[in-house]
Amino acid sequence: MHPHPDSPAAKDPAETTSRTPITEALIERLVRDFHGRIRRDPVLGPLFLEELDHDWDAHLERMCAFWSSEMLGTGRYRGRPIPAHQNIRTIRPAHFDRWLGLFRQSAFAVCERTVALAFVDRAERSTETLKSTVFQRADLAVPGALRAIAAQEVRP
């Protein structure tokens, strides 16, 4: 589903930011608020802790660079999110949905409405791309019984 052509999320990041107050400082506040929620989450907190090996600061820097690239067009992010997520053996589609719910909460807590909508739209598109790519590739190489396990709902 694509955003309405007149919505802030449908615009090029540079065009969106010219009318909305997205700054590096706002991105950092959003990233820190969001990751604080993740750390407190009973499902995502342990998963992130295990994967990041307690290196939250480096992860926060990468995520600030990612959102700076996405929303301000800075090109600061040089990561490869698909392989990084494919290497997480315990990740399930429901983790992405839970992640997105927490991101929405942070966006609307930290940003004014139009800015929050622009961030959420980008997050939704990124999440769908990651989910479809990570689990489509897994489906090609994983027998049916394991596909069923990969589709399990995540519960706290």
**Tens of pLDDT along 106-138?**
999 999 999 999 999 999 999 998 888 888 754
Q: What pLDDT score was predicted for residue 134?
A: 82
Contact 114, 20 (CB under 8 A): yes
| Residue 5 belongs to some domain of the structure | no
CATH classification at residue 34: 1.10.490.10
| Residue 9 belongs to some domain of the structure | no
Q: Which residue range forms the structural domain that includes residue 44?
A: 20-150
Query: Could you give the number of structural domains in the chain?
Result: 1
Contact 42, 50 (CB under 8 A): no
> Which of 124, 103, 115 shows the shortest CA–CA distance to 23?
115
Q: What pLDDT score was predicted for residue 66?
A: 96
| Residue 3 belongs to some domain of the structure | no
Query: Which residue stretches of the chain have pLDDT < 50?
Result: 1-18, 138-147, 149-150
Q: What pLDDT score was predicted for residue 25?
A: 97
